[in-house]
Structure 1
């Protein structure tokens, strides 16, 4: 408990009185006065120096502060220009990348069109021609130059498809890399736009604004750990990477142009080779068919002539039978001669010789008839074989000239 203390002199009976002041000399008085004057002068002099130094320091600091703010504003302006320049460069490069992506996707569609055309048109027609030629019959079902060239054409088409497929995979991968480049550039652009807004806002701030604040925390106000050179190198690396990918894409497009041109040339060249093989084979078959038809005509003519010859031989043999019967009848009648009259006279000798000659002649005619009949059989057999061969050649010509060549007219190789 606090106790209130009251001090009252009237309550005391004895009061202490201080001793009288000591006496100073006049000299001491003058010295004290001079000391006071000197102290006043010194304090005034010091105050004047402090005032002058304060004015100088205040003006100097005000000038330095203004210069620092102007320097900061200048650096902000330079930074804003650098950011705007980098943004414009990135946007230009991004536009080039987008154009290159569109171009590369168009080239990818060209490759797909070429592959689809080769698969759905050329390959099917080539295989159908091979299947149609399997419909040849007889001796014409052979491994000829046409079949060899058709097989080679299938190999060329398959090789072109594999090459185009690999190129399409490369184009797809290049498009992916270009899109990845756009992604990193978009992120960089977004960051730079945000920084641009921040620094533009900072540039508008003045020391007289009311929304300023002083930071009293302990964390540093400059937490950045990336140098300006690293910042510029990052943007430059993005731009250079985009330029590199654009260059790669352009080289790939040039390669695709060359590849498509070469593929079309190879396919067209093989197409002409197959057609030339077809043409030569068709001419060869036509020539063989013409010769067979000529031989067939001659065989038919000879068969008809041989038929008439057989008829003549049979007629001749039949006629000889009358002469043989006449000679036999005469010999039989003369065998009835009586007695001495049954002699071997000249008539007898003549009749006997006649019978012998007739028998020999008839035997020769019969032998010739047999040969004629055998020849006719061979002629008819040959005629049938020729007709079969002509039918085989006709079937081959229908397959090669009509069916296959009509199909091959639909093989359209163009600049995809």
Structure 2
């Protein structure tokens, strides 16, 4: 559409002549929007902005809620893990104490077993002395001449003493062997 604007310039007037100049302007060809369409478009834009603003608000609140839930979950997870670790440390400390106590008891038992083994070995040596005495007595009796040889209560008692000594010696020797094996296992 072409519009013609008329402009009046008083300086251009001469006293003798009365004239007006016209200025021609061209307007770009654009389609004009009706007032109701313009208001409708503004309403659509406003509604679109409101929807996007509401979506952004909801997203912000969901993000805040998710952050809070994550913080709470992390906090309680860390708390529970720390509590379990503390319980485990306490349990390990308790077992460490129990093991130290058991070790002390085993060491004390080893010392006692070693002492008892030594005493038993000395007892076996004493029985060896008794064996020597009984064997000497039996040898002296066997050296008698044929007229003096007889089976009497003394010989029976010496044989009983010899069997008893052998039984005790075997029992003590077995105990010393058991003590030695047990000491090797405990060490």
Question: Structure 1 length as normaliser, TM-score?
Answer: 0.36
Larger helix share, 1 or 2: 1
Match of 1:140 in 2: 148
Displacement of 1:118 after TM fit?
0.9
Give 5+ residue unaligned stretches, structure 1: 1-18, 180-416
Match of 2:82 in 1: 73
Cα distance, 1:29–1:146 mapped onto 2, change above 3 Å: same
| Secondary structure at the counterpart of residue 147 of structure 2 | helix
- Work out whether 1:26 is the aligned partner of 2:26: no
- Work out whether 1:149 is the aligned partner of 2:157: yes
Aligned pairs (5 A) from 1:17-166: 21-119=30-128, 121-137=129-145, 139-166=147-174
For residues 149 and 57 of structure 1, the distance between their equivalents in structure 2, rounded to whole angstroms, comes to 100
Cα distance, 1:72–1:138 mapped onto 2, change above 3 Å: closer
Cα distance, 1:20–1:172 mapped onto 2, change above 3 Å: farther
For residues 31 and 179 of structure 2, the distance between their equivalents in structure 1, rounded to whole angstroms, comes to 114
| Secondary structure at the counterpart of residue 107 of structure 1 | helix
Higher relative contact order (CA 8 A, sep 6+): 1
Deviations 1:160-203 (CA, angstroms, capped at 9, x unpaired)? 11122222222233333433xxxxxxxxxxxxxxxxxxxxxxxx
For residues 118 and 29 of structure 2, the distance between their equivalents in structure 1, rounded to whole angstroms, comes to 122
| Secondary structure at the counterpart of residue 144 of structure 2 | coil
Aligned pairs (5 A) from 1:16-415: 21-119=30-128, 121-137=129-145, 139-179=147-187
Give 5+ residue unaligned stretches, structure 2: 1-27
Large movers: runs of 4+ above 6 Å: none
| Secondary structure at the counterpart of residue 139 of structure 1 | coil
Larger strand share, 1 or 2: 2
Cα distance, 1:138–1:38 mapped onto 2, change above 3 Å: closer
Question: Structure 2 length as normaliser, TM-score?
Answer: 0.75
For residues 142 and 64 of structure 2, the distance between their equivalents in structure 1, rounded to whole angstroms, comes to 114
Deviations 1:114-135 (CA, angstroms, capped at 9, x unpaired)? 112112x110111112223334
Match of 1:345 in 2: none
| Cα RMSD (Å) | 2.1
Displacement of 1:138 after TM fit?
6.4
Deviations 1:67-126 (CA, angstroms, capped at 9, x unpaired)? 21122111111111011011111111221122112222222222211112112x110111
Q: Which has the larger radius of gyration?
A: 1
| Secondary structure at the counterpart of residue 140 of structure 1 | coil
